Each structure stands twice: as structure tokens, then as C-alpha cells.
């Protein structure tokens, strides 16, 4: 996983890294187990879905104040991109949900 640091036009510090979802995370529908197979989950809850656009990965951006954004798909050679390009992808990115913690 590559990692970059930069500041936006307002002087806020941002961290950027690439995210490649695993095969298990690439669900496009919440189908459950195949017919004839018993559900193994103890607690049945909605599974996270990943859009087709995000299935091949995205750039994750996180500001020092906690704001998060995502940009997909991952641009080729993004690790060599200029600060202006990173800022452009940040601006074009969509807001990301807050981090889910196992223990809070």
C-alpha cells in the first residue's frame, strides 16, 4: 500500500493511500448462502456492498481533523502525481463514512 502526504489549498494536512478490496468485500448484493446451505453467521445483518466503480479499488484521503474522502478508480502512477493532481482528486472524491471501530 502506497502512502502520500500533502496539504490542501487551506493548509490542511491530508494523507492519501490506495485501497484494494479483497474478493470477500466485493459483494454486489446481499444474497446470503447458496440454496441448501445453512447460514453460518450468528447475527444476520446487512452486508456491506461495494459499488462496481469501487470494486477495483480507490484512493482514500484522510485529513488531520478526521475528514475522509474516496476517489475511484485509482489513477495510474498516482504515487508519482503532483500535489495539484492529488488536490484535484481530493476535491472530486466523495465523502467517506466514519471509521468503524470494533471497540469504542
Parallel/antiparallel/unpaired status of strands 3-7 and 58-63: unpaired
- Mean pLDDT value across the chain: 82
pLDDT tens digits for 55-93?
Answer: 788 999 999 999 999 999 999 999 999 999 999 999 999
Q: Is the pLDDT of residue 33 over 70?
A: no
Can you read off the three cell numbers belonging to residue 29? 448484493
**What region does 102 belong to: left with phi over 0, alpha with psi -120 to 50, or beta?**
alpha
Q: Which cell numbers hold the place of 57? A: 479499488
- Can you give the pTM of this predicted structure? 0.72
Tell which wins on pLDDT, 45 or 21: 21
Q: Is the peptide bond before 73 cis (omega within 30 degrees of 0)?
A: yes
Residue 103 included in any domain: no
Q: Could you tell me the CA-to-CA distances from 93 to 32, 40, 89 in Å, in that order?
A: 31, 36, 6
Range of the domain at 8: 3-95
Would you say residue 104 lies in a domain?
no
Query: What total of structural domains would you count in the chain?
Result: 1
Indicate whether 101 belongs to any domain. Answer: no
**pLDDT for residue 26 is more than 50:** no
Amino acid at each position: 500500500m502506497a502512502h502520500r502526504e500533502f496539504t490542501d489549498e487551506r493548509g490542511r494536512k491530508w494523507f492519501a493511500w490506495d485501497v484494494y478490496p479483497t474478493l470477500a468485500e466485493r459483494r454486489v448484493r446481499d444474497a446470503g448462502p447458496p440454496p441448501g446451505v445453512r447460514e453460518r453467521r450468528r447475527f444476520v445483518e446487512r452486508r456491506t456492498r461495494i459499488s462496481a466503480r469501487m470494486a477495483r479499488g480507490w484512493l482514500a484521503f484522510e485529513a488531520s481533523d478526521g475528514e475522509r474522502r474516496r476517489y475511484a478508480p485509482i489513477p495510474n502512477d498516482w504515487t508519482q502525481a503532483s500535489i495539484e493532481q492529488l488536490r484535484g482528486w481530493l476535491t472530486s472524491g466523495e465523502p467517506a463514512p466514519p471509521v468503524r471501530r470494533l471497540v469504542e
